[in-house]
Amino acid sequence: MNVPLRKCLIPEFILGDGAINLASRYVNFFNPKKVLVVTDKGLRETKLVSKIEKQFTENKVPYCIFDHVSPNPRDHEVMEGAQMYRKENCNVILAIGGGSAMDAAKGIGIVSTNFNAIERFEGVDKIADPMPPLVCIPTTAGTSADISQFAIILNSSEKTKMAIISKTVVPDTSLIDAETTLTMNAELTAATGIDAMVHAFEAYASSASSAITDMNALEAIRLIKKYLPLTLKSPDNLKYRNKMMLASLLAGIAFSNASLGLVHAMAHALGGLKDAAHGICNAILLDHVVDFNYDAVPNKYIEIAKAMDLNLIHTSTERGKALLVETIQEFKYACGIREGLNQIGIHDADIPHLAKKAFNDACIVTNPRDAEIADIQNIFRNAR
């Protein structure tokens, strides 16, 4: 049997109750002169950031806080954070928040050691010098920026999302504590949970998948199919939140190493133009992209279906595709996601521009079926 060469990079992570209480211990491994804490304004008001401040104060860890981070973090926010990092003479970064805070922290790290504007690093392997040490504390179960080789930053003048993909943006340590996700409302829980589901789908169907990424992706799909609806019904149930954190981690290990596909390429184009929530963009597109990709890798989708409790053995390819698409739609509805592109403000006139952007996104490279611009336009039209 031929085994294709595949690299795999997974950083140190500490998973479990109380992981957030290890923040000062883990930043201390890097001899901090001063820690730049990157978060957003909403989270700064919560007890999560004050928990970090208390630990740092008690353990005499010098720190300053940068909280100018928007959902879909902007290029100018990254540059502002890097300015603060330099001015305050920091040498370690701690990010606490969802994908936005962690991606912004990665951007700040890249700019701080490479002395150039963030847009210069868009694409694959464009970063020469490693970032400063970065410790992450994720507060959503979905993005996996805390372990991934990806950082997504909004280019605000061009209204596009830049995918920065490099092993240098993998954080040093992630402290994964499900209690931090209790602050999420239902909408954010659903959007981030679906994002994790799409990571697993795309990693499993990716042309760069491997045995390691496959097993993580399928287990993530099983867990999310079961526990995302349960979490939405019982948002204070820590057992369900823990299962979603685990699922997000597994999906992150899968996609960070197998990369993604057309859903993310198209979602990045949408998020850039309309500043729409990433998970919602993914949810809108997933069933339509599966419909497009299915015939290229039917056996992979049969396994994905199995992980979603749908048996497609002895079913024709056409029928199997229809059943899987239907199952995805039902799952989205069960999670309260019913939007189409029209509801997030996309008009027909936007589609040619969006399709061109998606066609040039780095995530399209590993999609299991080649997509031309006309194909992408059709998928966008179907998703209205």
Q: Which residues would be at the binding site for Fe ion (CB under 5 A)?
A: 195
Q: Which C-beta is closer to Fe ion: that of 36 or that of 383?
A: 383
State the nearest-atom distance from the C-beta of 197 to Fe ion, in Å: 10
Eight-state DSSP code of residue 297? S
Q: How far apart are CA 187 and CA 333, in angstroms?
A: 12
Dihedral, CA of residue 368, residue 374, residue 376 and residue 382, to nearest 10: -120
State the nearest-atom distance from the C-beta of 83 to Fe ion, in Å: 28
272 three-class SS: helix
Q: How far apart are CA 207 and CA 296, in angstroms?
A: 11
State the nearest-atom distance from the C-beta of 267 to Fe ion, in Å: 7
Q: Which C-beta is closer to Fe ion: that of 32 or that of 271?
A: 271
Residues in the chain: 384
Q: Which C-beta is closer to Fe ion: that of 103 or that of 195?
A: 195
Q: Which C-beta is closer to Fe ion: that of 74 or that of 264?
A: 264
Q: How far apart are CA 205 and CA 296, in angstroms?
A: 10
Strand residues in the chain grouped as ranges (E):
12-15, 35-38, 63-66, 92-97, 123-124, 134-138, 150-155, 160-165, 173-176
Q: Which C-beta is closer to Fe ion: that of 40 or that of 195?
A: 195
Q: Which C-beta is closer to Fe ion: that of 195 or that of 287?
A: 195
Q: In what order do the strands lie in the sheet with 160-165?
A: 123-124, 160-165, 150-155
State the nearest-atom distance from the C-beta of 26 to Fe ion, in Å: 25
Q: Which three-class secondary structure string do you get for 71-119?
A: CCCEHHHHHHHHHHHHHCCCCEEEEEECHHHHHHHHHHHHHHHHCCCHH
**Whole-number CA gyration radius for the chain:** 20
**Angle of helix 211-233 relative to helix 298-307, nearest 10 degrees?**
40
Nearest to 39 by CA among 74, 1, 75, 65: 65
Q: Which C-beta is closer to Fe ion: that of 172 or that of 195?
A: 195
Name the residue with the smallest CB distance to Fe ion.
Answer: 195
Q: How far apart are CA 216 and CA 145, in angstroms?
A: 16
State the nearest-atom distance from the C-beta of 86 to Fe ion, in Å: 30
State the nearest-atom distance from the C-beta of 278 to Fe ion, in Å: 6
Within 10 angstroms of residue 234's Cβ, the number of other Cβ atoms is: 12
State the nearest-atom distance from the C-beta of 140 to Fe ion, in Å: 11
State the nearest-atom distance from the C-beta of 280 to Fe ion, in Å: 11
Strand residues in 79-133 grouped as ranges (E):
92-97, 123-124
User: Any bridge partners for residue 214, and if so which?
Assistant: none
State the nearest-atom distance from the C-beta of 203 to Fe ion, in Å: 11
State the nearest-atom distance from the C-beta of 194 to Fe ion, in Å: 9
Q: Which C-beta is closer to Fe ion: that of 49 or that of 219?
A: 219
Task: Please answer whether residues 233 and 286 qualify as being in contact, where contact means their C-beta atoms are separated by less than 8 angstroms.
Answer: no
Q: How far apart are CA 101 and CA 37, in angstroms?
A: 10
Eight-state DSSP code of residue 7? -
Q: Strand 160-165 and strand 150-155: pairing?
A: antiparallel
Q: Which C-beta is closer to Fe ion: that of 180 or that of 259?
A: 259
Task: Please answer whether residues 91 and 134 qualify as being in contact, where contact means their C-beta atoms are separated by less than 8 angstroms.
Answer: no
